[in-house]
Amino acid sequence: MTGVLVVLDESGKAIGQGLALARELGQRAVGLFVYERGWNVYIGHDWLSGSNARATFLEYVEEHEKAAEAELKARFLAEAQAAGVEAQFEAICCDDLEHLTDAVIREAREGGYGHIVCADPLTRGLSPRRGGTAALLRGAPCPVVLAGQTVAAA
């Protein structure tokens, strides 16, 4: 089990901590961005909006997610380079009924990572609503480091 899986979220708190840990362990860091597909179900609570309003909102979320991916990817790779850590970026998509943290756990298991680093609280999409870091701590196949504040890796 080797490598540090850095869960990327809007706060960016995990990036510095994840890269610092990877450098200390002499391992590679993988920045993980997860696309959620649960929004359609989540706004299923809504009974009466027009389908155009729903569709526009879902398109807006998708655009927002793509922009967040691009921004976090650039930031992660730039900070990794500055810190002298071997780094990769990966974007994955949740299965239809899967929560974000389930996808992170699946990825950590399949990739055989040694550590997961995640911001606390996790602020990505619907994850704050769905257990966030608590769900990750319960199901992770390896140690989880929670990043409560932003630190510089370099």
Instruction: Name the residues that contact another protein, by CB under 8 A.
Output: 10, 39, 41-54, 56-57, 59-61, 64-65, 96-97, 123-131
Pairing state between β 144-147 and 4-7: unpaired
Count CB-CB contacts under 10 A for residue 59.
Answer: 10
Count CB-CB contacts under 10 A for residue 104.
Answer: 27
Cβ atoms of residues 65 and 91 within 8 Å: no
26 versus 45: smaller Cβ distance to another protein: 45
CB 40 to another protein: min, Å: 9
24 versus 95: smaller Cβ distance to another protein: 95
CB 123 to another protein: min, Å: 5
DSSP state of 116: E
Beta bridge partners of 115: 4
85 versus 105: smaller Cβ distance to another protein: 105
CB 144 to another protein: min, Å: 19
